[in-house]
Amino acid sequence: MPAYRSHLSLLETAASHYASSPVFRIPLIDSTGAVSQWTSITYLQFLRDVERFARYWSRTLRSNGIPSKSVVGLWLGGMTYTDVLHIYGLARAGYVPQLFSLRLPNPDVVFELLQKGHAKALIYDAAFAPTLTDNSIPTFAAAADGQIPASSDPLPALLQPSSGTELAFIFHTSGSTSGSPKLVPCNYTWLNTIIDKACQVSQPANPGRQDVSTWMGSMCHIAQTFMLLGSIQHGSCTIQPTKIGFSSEELADMVRRCDLNRLHQFASFLGIHLRNSRLNPKLVALLQSMDQVVYSGLPLPRDEEEWAAKSGLQIRNLFGNTECGAMLLSVGGTGPYRQSLRPLEGVSYGFFPIASKSQNEAGHQSVNTNLVELVILSDSGDCPDVSLRHADGHFHTGDLFLEVQPGCYVSRGRDDDWIKSENSLRCDTKAIEDNVRTMCGDLISECIVVGNGRPSPALFVEPASADMDHTKLKKEILRKTRQFHARRYLHERITSPSFIIIVSPKTLPRTATKGNIRRKAVEEQFKPHLDKLYAATA
């Protein structure tokens, strides 16, 4: 075994141990849009396909003067087997993938990030060809699988890093800061710790049979990258659904035809199945048959998680972020602390108080004075790159918890102004609000952005004057903020007047002491309106 493992060394090992076992099940769609069959890709075929793509990219990039170990951008959907082959194949060719998903629509932002990552080239989804002009680095279309020919070219030796500080990947935060995501450089020390954690999370309940799980999200983000690392180590299979928010009917089909026994989903999408199952005993039984139901990205509503646990589902919450991968896993089972979170093994984390204990105005100590922040210590293998660390050398996640028993924690949100979208991607609400206040200060008296767990944010506005025409006000806000939103991820944009809600001055709920608008209270108070709004635009 090499001194430093990678996704590539894991694949080589798995292909020798599980050569004929399926690593992926891929849907074939018929003329009606239904899945006619789920085809199998074996571990050996996966390895051979990765090597075929590696020969292609090695020949293509080197012939364009791009040397081995260079950073090369990959702007892909990340939801297909071919996307995985481009990512793994590029790495097998000896390059460092810098990964972008299609949710970042502005080429200018992509090229700025490529420059920050010192990338020498960009491989892009062919759908973006018309938007790529005046490129500062060489660009190449990500060819379809059938367009990558077999080749007898010699395959480069599997890259062996000389130290754990060598770069393996570059990811990006899923939310924009100052108009652009942050780079998340990932070295081999980090990757080896991620591999160990993924092995724990994907441990089969029954070693005597092959685990089959669902594709969780884009391979250009950390969640599915992490889960695939775990699956490969155990010789497990991953099903590519027709879409990330697949229907309960498709879920049942994956169980029937693919032997699905582990459900991995973001909370927003899992919630669809949980709500459907309340009216469908067969769906309840199907979910009960899962060895494990793992959700991530967002917390489930308390009533849904309680219902799932009481209904006998083996449900677990996997808590993580882009910078560190998965960090905490809920206890599970049937005990009183089943929903509380514990750190995975082999890491070095701290849970530090965010403030000294104090009393509230009524003289009673608030439970929130016991809040602690999760901090990834500098000696933890998954501590992110030094560029992302605090002045004390550690990585402060900004995630807040209550310790409910020794070593067990319950999430209490974040200490910043981020919300998470339906796809569990982060959205900087404060940046949107600040831009509205800057550009529209003469039109509004106050505003707040909501949309936790929704596809995109919504803006609530209290106008500067009660008699302002609401339609004209919405159009003017959109006009003045258009340039700001043009640079943001799709899940962070407000580009339709439907998602600007005008309310009477001083009607949004506020805190009693400082008078700040309460984001969560706005979401709760206007939930029926928001439900109707998002349903109409789905």
For every residue of 109-121, DSSP letters joined together read: HHHHHHHHTTEEE
The domain made up of 7-153+163-260 has a fold known as: Rossmann fold (3.40.50)
pLDDT at residue 359, rounded to an integer: 37
- Residues 6 or more apart whose Cβ sits within 8 Å of residue 396: 373, 375, 390
* Eight-state DSSP code of residue 424: S
Residue 211: what are its φ and ψ, rounded to 5°?
-70, 145
The strand ranges marked E within 16-78 are: 22-29, 35-42, 71-76
The residues spanned by each domain of the chain are 7-153+163-260, 419-536
pLDDT at residue 361, rounded to an integer: 35
Rg over CA atoms, the chain = 24
pLDDT at residue 224, rounded to an integer: 96
pLDDT at residue 421, rounded to an integer: 87
Question: Using CB atoms within 10 A of its CB, is residue 445 exposed (0-12), middle (13-18) or buried (19+)?
Answer: middle
pLDDT tens column, 342-398 = 999 999 999 999 754 433 333 434 455 588 999 999 999 999 999 999 999 999 999
Residue with tokens 């944010």: 457
Mean pLDDT of 323-341: 92
**Distance separating alpha carbons of residues 340 and 323, to the nearest angstrom:** 22
The strand ranges marked E within 30-163 are: 35-42, 71-76, 96-101, 119-124, 139-141
**Distance separating alpha carbons of residues 368 and 360, to the nearest angstrom:** 10
pLDDT tens column, 425-457 = 878 888 899 899 999 999 999 999 999 999 999
Helix axes 267-277, 281-288, angle to 10 degrees: 130
How does residue 176 score in pLDDT terms, banded at 50, 70 and 90? low
How does residue 521 score in pLDDT terms, banded at 50, 70 and 90? confident
**Distance separating alpha carbons of residues 428 and 176, to the nearest angstrom:** 7
pLDDT tens column, 462-512 = 999 999 999 999 999 999 999 999 988 889 999 999 999 999 999 998 865
For the chain, the first-to-last Cα distance in angstroms comes to: 49
pLDDT at residue 365, rounded to an integer: 43
CA distance to 82, 124, 272, per residue, from 147 (Å) = 11, 15, 38
Q: Which of 33-42, 76-85, 150-159 has the lowest mean pLDDT?
A: 150-159
CATH of 419-536 among 3.80.10.10, 3.40.50.300, 3.30.300.30, 3.40.50.720: 3.30.300.30
pLDDT at residue 449, rounded to an integer: 95
pLDDT at residue 537, rounded to an integer: 86
Averaged confidence pLDDT in the chain: 91
pLDDT at residue 129, rounded to an integer: 83
How does residue 514 score in pLDDT terms, banded at 50, 70 and 90? low
- Where do runs of H (alpha helix) occur along 167-295? 188-201, 222-233, 248-258, 267-277, 281-288
**pLDDT at 175 > cutoff 80:** no
pLDDT tens column, 178-195 = 567 899 999 999 999 999
pLDDT tens column, 246-304 = 999 999 999 999 999 999 999 989 999 999 999 999 999 999 999 999 999 888 888 89
